[in-house]
Amino acid sequence: MKLIIGLGNPGNKYKKTRHNIGFMVIDEITTNFQFPIFNFKSIFNAEISKKILKNQKIILVKPQTFMNNSGRAVKAIIDYYKITTEDIIVIHDDIDLNLGEIKMQKNRSSAGHNGVQSIIDSIGTKDFTRIRIGIKPINKEISIDTEKFVLQKFTKEEEIVQKTIEKAAALVVAAL
């Protein structure tokens, strides 16, 4: 059984924002591989969708706890399904990577990402796979307030983001 978690914030206010790229990748996987419609499970405070893919049970997750408390939902799901950390993939935005850049890494610190840190704190380890998706501004000379920037929607100039979401979704499925 594999647990694939996209990080983001719940609600229409945050839909299509940079911080929700994890949710966007999960939605891309859902569409491309015909996962069932997501159901909200209050026991986890998360939306989940399950399917057998590549001969194994896959659980897609969109925590509804807000980014900085993602670990609560992840811990509840891990405990309920008895999932090991080696079977977890977390997908999230990364302000330190250029827009369009994707990195898959394992057993790394949060590097200041509050959603990832919440998961590390909740499950007691950083030994899980992460798909980091770059959202660094195109114009690197502009001084930005990171908290405001990640909560903004992608601009027309950042159209590369759709191809990045597609590549990240393919990378996740290939890693199964």
Catalytic residue numbers?
Answer: 19
**Cα separation values, 90 from 40, 99, 140, 142, Å:** 19, 18, 26, 29
Tokens of 176: 């199964």
In angstroms, the CA 159 to CA 163 distance is: 8
Residue 121, judged by CB atoms within 10 A of its CB (0-12, 13-18, 19+), counts as: middle
- Report the alpha-carbon distance of residue 22 to residue 113 in Å, rounded: 13
The string of DSSP letters for 48-113 reads EEEEEETTEEEEEEEE-S-GGGHHHHHHHHHHHHT--GGGEEEEEEEEEEETT-EEEEES---TT-
